Structure formats: structure tokens, C-alpha cells
Amino acid sequence: MPLAEQPSIDATAEPSAIERVSRIYGLENWGFGYFGVNPSGHLSVTPHKIPGLAVDVYEAVRDQVGNQLSPPFLLRFPQILDERLASLHQAFATAIAEFDYGGRHIGAYPVKVNQRPEVLRRLVEAGQRYDYGLEVGSKAELIAALSMPLAEGSLIICNGLKDDLYLRLAMAAAKLGRKAVIVVEDLQDLQLTLKLARAQDLLPPIGLRVKLGARGSGKWEDSCGEFAKFGMSTIALVRALDLIKEWDAASQLAMLHFHVGSQVNDIRRAKQAFKEAARVYAKARKAGFDIAYLNVGGGLGVDYDGSRTASEFSMNYSVQEFANDIVYTLGEVCAGEEVSAPTIVTEHGRAMVAYHSMLVTDVRKVVTPGLVADGEFAEVESDAPPVLELVDIAEGINAKNFRERYHDAVQQRGDMNSLFELGYLGLRDKAKGEALFWKICRRVARLSRQMKHRPKELQDLDQMLASRFVCNFSMFQSIPDFWAFDQLFPIIPIHRLNETPTERGVLCDITCDSDGTVDRFVDTKHFKESLELHAPRPDEPYYLGILLLGAYQETLGDIHNLFGTVTELNVEVGTDGQRVVSQPIRGDNVRDVLGDFGYQPEALREALARRLAERKQAGLIGDQDEHEVLATSSRVLDDYTYLV
């Protein structure tokens, strides 16, 4: 019985039980040293990767619920940002030392990947020691970047299409003591930039964005290559260099910029791109341009499924290998061409921020197809042949005959449906038959899991029988990439990880959209269509974490069904191992989302009040009714948009 009472938690569970359960969720594969399970069976986060300095995620959530806040929560672990930053820079430092590279490396954070001010500020502050900068793609991102406490040696890299004001603001950066490189995409932009700078008597550093012939790899490979939306072809590049010479502006050409596309999954493709980029740099340098920076863009992947392969949501290389390949390739090419090695600039976004945030949602109900209590419908005395057959099959099924009996059951159910359509079967008879059929399916599924080679038709039973775990969140707000292109994210209960999960389920969000179903889960072999979960206990919340949400998700979320932003918490671990949780940033209330969509919440409330007054006047409702409806409306406007 899937929903019956479960044995209570065994507090002294063997470590092996925890290991077994962790393996079910693939924690070791995708956890990257940040995620683990503590002896209480709770998900823990080790932001510095130092064992012992861990946060108990379940306890953090329970505290907030104790403070009258409700899930969903977005938990941020800012210390993971620090750790990511340190490990990226360490990887480049190691590579530079190993290959005796003649230049240095600096990074810049691409704001579009997660533009929340607290994320930007944290990265910029933690990045000061590395001269870490920012990459922006619009006026809005630029002005946000200019307000950040950047280090002296860091860059603001201005990408994207630019109008007059964008250019003016970028040129004004120097007056603020910031170094903003204006990266242009084509000749027209270049001309505009040179003209505007000349008119103001300014000499802003300029970058040229170059298209590579080599394509990136993975989901986003189209953002690179001959037909990419951004950048100059070789023809355009040659013309641009000529134009710069004509304007006598060679000293302003500070950067060549490339971007191989996001989530590069295959290192071989990236290597090819680095080679080409290095060659372009060396040739331009030889043509008399002392270009200081070679910007190889972003693209460093995140191993969402933990497979360490060139699959869509993984990558077949480590950060160190990626850094080695860049440094080694540039060093080699520059040595061969006898030009000095440039400062390497990288713009990794996804790999910086993906790990740092997770969504915690609570399961609100579990809907299990065809679930009936033992003995339910036993009193229905049906004499319809298919129903009688199903009774026989259910009784006679065993480890030897289950596959054959399953085929029989499918056939009998077909017959039963035909009888019903023709009017020969009552509702109760059909209910009994269906109950028997589901019972048979459950037995067959269980028995067939022991098979060495389980046929597809029996594997499909798992999906068919999977319970719908209805979770308090909106896919469209919190994991838009799952909806848009089946991006996989690790999902794991944040407690009870010392108990073997007994159920299999898919997750449904609370939007009224049938697309709002999570039915693809991380697995070492490709993906799985249902997830192992625990049967929720009555009167005890069951919390799930959806992990690795820091990159691109917060940016793209939308307000489907008017479910708004979720409540956010910063969670850190103190040097003594204590949990430090920030003051929560409350998610949108109903008033907020209505306001964002052009409603006027107060006018809305007044409209209700007028309507109530009219109905009271007409004698249809009383004072008390009017008062109550108004009070309820006010409470709704102030309430969280999610289930409370």
C-alpha cells in the first residue's frame, strides 16, 4: 500500500542506508562536493567544500516555517559563489604556472546569467582580489555594473547592440575611474563609436567581436560559428582593422572578443575555437595592433546530470582541463608566431552561479492512479466475464507467469471497456474491474523489476503508475528552462534521506497548465521519467529541493497564473559551523503581481466594495457579509501568491 503509514525514521540508521539513498539520487555524481547528506538524513550544503562546515538545509527551512513563512523558498548560498570564483581563478593560475604562460588571466561575470543585485555584489566583492570584472549587454546592465565596487584592474566589457546613450555611458566610465571596453559587432558600430569618441575628445578602449568558423558544441552551439548572430567575419574584421588605422586609433584597440556559446559539452570543439581565436589574435598583433586582451568568452559547462559525458546537460572535461586548454593553446600559438601573450579574459557565467541557489518546495498532495484500499469494491458482485477474468488473474499472478498474465489483463480491460461502451456494464462493475487492473499492474511492475532485461512494455509501467506529487511552486517562475527545453535539474528530498524511498512519482506544479509537470529526472544513464520519492506522512510536510538553479532561471521566470517571485533566504555557515540565515526577502504578494501587470490593487478593492454596497442597499446581503468579504479580499491582496 503506497500511501499507508511508513515505519518511523530509524535515527540510528546505518551510514550505508544513507549511502544507498544518496546513490539513488545521484548525489555524488552531480553534487560537485557542495551537496551531501548528514547523519540525520538531511540534505547538507558544504559551500567551501570543507567537511564539517556544512548547512543543514532541512533545519534552515524548518526555522523559517517556524517563523510563519511558507515555501516555496529560494535558498542562496553566497559562499558557493566565493568558492566557485576561487576555484576558477586557481585553475587558471595553475595552468599559467604549468605552461609558463607569459600573460595573466582575469575574469568577468556576464550579468545576464543572474542579474540579482546581491549576486552581482557578492561576486564583485569576492572578486576584488582577482581583478574580477563584469560583462554587460545593455544600458541597464551597464549602469548597474558601474555602481559596483570593482577593483582597479578589472574590466567592464560592453557587449550587445548599442545606441548613442549606451555608448556615451560606456565612454563616461573612465571619468568614474572604471575601464569599460566597448566591444563592437560590425563596421557601422565601430564607425559610430570612433566618431562619438572623437567628438568628445575621448579615447575609450575598443574591442572587436569576432565570429569563429569553428562552432561550439552543445545546446547553444548556434551562438557561435559562421552564421552566428553576433560578431564579425574575417572580411569584416579586415575592414575594421583598416578603418581603425584610417582613424589613427590603433592604440585604442584593446580586445578581441570571442564566445563559443553556453554549456560547451565537448572539450574538443572548444579547443578548436581557442586555436582559431589565438591565430586571429596573433595575426592582428603582427599587423601592428598591440592588443592587450584576448577574451575567449564563457561556455564553461555545469554537470547537471552528473554523467561527466558530452551529453546535453553535462560536459566531458573539468574546469582545470578547460583552463589548461585555453592557456596552453594561446601560449603555443603566440610562441610560434612570436608575439607576446595577451591577458586572457574569460566570461564564465553558468559555471559561476548555477550551484549557488536551490528551490525548496513542499508536496501538497499525492495523486496515485488507480489506488484503491484493500477490499474496496469487493462487495460488488459482477458477473461480467472480463471482470471475472480480472479477479482470476489478480489471484493467480506469480513470479513465473506475470508477463503473460499482464498481457491477459490488458486484453480483459479492453473487453471490459467495449462492454461498457455498448451499455452492458454498470459503473460499479467497471470501477471494480479497473481497481483489479491497477492492482495487477502494480504486482507486475514490482515482480518485473527483478528481471535482468526488463522489456520496454514493463518498464513503461513505472511511468504509468507514477504518482503525481503536487508541489507548491510554479515551473514557469522557478525552472523556466525545464519548460522551454527540457533542461534537467537535480531534484532530491531535503530530509528522510536515511529512509529508502518507496514511491515513484512525477512532480506537478500548482499552475493550471498541463505543461507544468516535471517528468524527466537526472540519471547516470540519460534520464529517468519518474523519481524515487517517499510516501508523505500525515501531518508532516515533505520537502523537495530543486538544485543548481542559479544560472539563467531567475532571469527568465514568468508570472504564469500570477504566481510571483518566491521568498528568498541567504544561508551561510559561520567559522564555528553555525548556520547564519539572512533576513528573508519576502516573495511577491498578490498585490505586487497584480500591480506589475497593470492592475491597480486599490481600485480593484474599491470595485468590490462598491459592488458589496449596492447589494447591501438592495437588501441582498447584510453588514456582517459586507465586512467579511472586504476583510477576506484585503487578506488575499496581502498574501503570498503560493499555497500557504
Ligand X SMILES: *Cc1c(COP(=O)(O)O)cnc(C)c1O
Question: Least distance from C-beta 208 to ligand X, angstroms?
Answer: 13
* CB-CB contact of 330 with 101 (8 Å): yes
d(CA 84, CA 79): 9
Amino acid at residue number 465: L
Q: Select 185 or 509, whichever has its Cβ closest to ligand X.
A: 185
Nearest 5°: the CA angle 382, 386, 392 is 85
d(CA 280, CA 553): 34
Give yes or no for residue 299 binding ligand X (CB under 6 A).
yes
Q: How far apart are the first and last CA of the chain?
A: 29
Question: Least distance from C-beta 159 to ligand X, angstroms?
Answer: 5
Q: Select 194 or 319, whichever has its Cβ closest to ligand X.
A: 319
Chain CA centroid to CA 357, Å: 9
- 6: left (phi > 0), else alpha (psi -120 to 50), else beta? beta
Which residue stretch of 10-18, 84-92, 109-117, 162-170 sits at the interface with ligand X (rule: CB under 6 A)?
Answer: 109-117
Q: Select 300 or 533, whichever has its Cβ closest to ligand X.
A: 300
Grid cell 465586512 in the structure block, residue: 627
Q: Select 110 or 505, whichever has its Cβ closest to ligand X.
A: 110
Q: Which of 587, 361, 312 lies closest to 479 in space, CA to CA? A: 361
Give yes or no for residue 110 binding ligand X (CB under 6 A).
yes
Residue 345: strand pairing partners: 106, 295
Question: Least distance from C-beta 328 to ligand X, angstroms?
Answer: 20
Grid cell 447589494 in the structure block, residue: 615
Give yes or no for residue 349 binding ligand X (CB under 6 A).
yes
Q: Binding ligand X by CB under 6 A: which of 217, 262, 311, 472? A: 262
Question: Least distance from C-beta 207 to ligand X, angstroms?
Answer: 11
Residue 505: strand pairing partners: 467, 531
Q: Which of 478, 464, 416, 517 lies closest to 641 in space, CA to CA? A: 478
The contact pattern for ligand X, residues 122-161, with x = CB under 6 A and - = no contact, is -------------x-----------------------x--
Which residue stretch of 110-118, 188-196, 405-413, 422-430 sits at the interface with ligand X (rule: CB under 6 A)?
Answer: 110-118
Q: Select 204 or 299, whichever has its Cβ closest to ligand X.
A: 299
Question: Least distance from C-beta 633 to ligand X, angstroms?
Answer: 43
Q: Which residues in 270-356 belong to E strands, given as ranges?
A: 293-295, 343-346
Which residue stretch of 282-290, 292-300, 378-386, 402-410 sits at the interface with ligand X (rule: CB under 6 A)?
Answer: 292-300
Question: Could you give the count of Cα atoms lying within 13 Å of 360 in the half-sphere of its Cβ?
Answer: 27
Give yes or no for residue 348 binding ligand X (CB under 6 A).
yes
* CB-CB contact of 113 with 352 (8 Å): yes
Task: Tell me which residues in 154-183 interact with ligand X (CB under 6 A).
Answer: 159
Q: Binding ligand X by CB under 6 A: which of 122, 259, 430, 439? A: 259
d(CA 525, CA 265): 16
Q: Select 298 or 493, whichever has its Cβ closest to ligand X.
A: 298
Q: Select 271 or 350, whichever has its Cβ closest to ligand X.
A: 350
Q: Select 255 or 594, whichever has its Cβ closest to ligand X.
A: 255
Q: Select 210 or 492, whichever has its Cβ closest to ligand X.
A: 210
Q: Binding ligand X by CB under 6 A: which of 31, 297, 516, 557? A: 297
How many amino acids of this chain bind ligand X (CB under 6 A)? 16
Which residue stretch of 105-113, 270-278, 476-484, 497-505 sits at the interface with ligand X (rule: CB under 6 A)?
Answer: 105-113
Neighbours of 326 (CB within 10 A): 25
**What is the β-pairing status of strands 253-257 and 293-295?**
parallel
Question: Least distance from C-beta 160 to ligand X, angstroms?
Answer: 8
Task: Tell me which residues in 54-83 interact with ligand X (CB under 6 A).
Answer: none
Give yes or no for residue 112 binding ligand X (CB under 6 A).
yes
Residue 76: strand pairing partners: 357, 570
Give yes or no for residue 113 binding ligand X (CB under 6 A).
yes
Question: Least distance from C-beta 347 to ligand X, angstroms?
Answer: 4
Give yes or no for residue 47 binding ligand X (CB under 6 A).
no
Give yes or no for residue 210 binding ligand X (CB under 6 A).
no
Question: Least distance from C-beta 348 to ligand X, angstroms?
Answer: 4
d(CA 82, CA 132): 12
Handedness of CA 537, 539, 544, 545 (dihedral sign): negative
Query: Which residue number places its CB atom closest to ligand X?
Result: 298
* CB-CB contact of 155 with 113 (8 Å): no
Q: Select 211 or 350, whichever has its Cβ closest to ligand X.
A: 350
* CB-CB contact of 226 with 236 (8 Å): no
Q: Select 58 or 220, whichever has its Cβ closest to ligand X.
A: 220
Question: Least distance from C-beta 297 to ligand X, angstroms?
Answer: 4
* CB-CB contact of 496 with 536 (8 Å): no
Q: Which of 544, 552, 566, 567 lies closest to 487 in space, CA to CA? A: 552
Q: Per the structure block, which three cell numbers stand in for 504? A: 515513484
Question: Least distance from C-beta 113 to ligand X, angstroms?
Answer: 5
* CB-CB contact of 264 with 216 (8 Å): yes
Q: Binding ligand X by CB under 6 A: which of 298, 331, 516, 536? A: 298
Q: Binding ligand X by CB under 6 A: which of 190, 300, 366, 416? A: 300
**Exposed, middle or buried: residue 512 (CB in 10 Å: 0-12, 13-18, 19+)?**
exposed
List residues near ligand X by CB under 6 A.
Answer: 110, 112-113, 135, 159, 259, 262-263, 297-300, 347-350
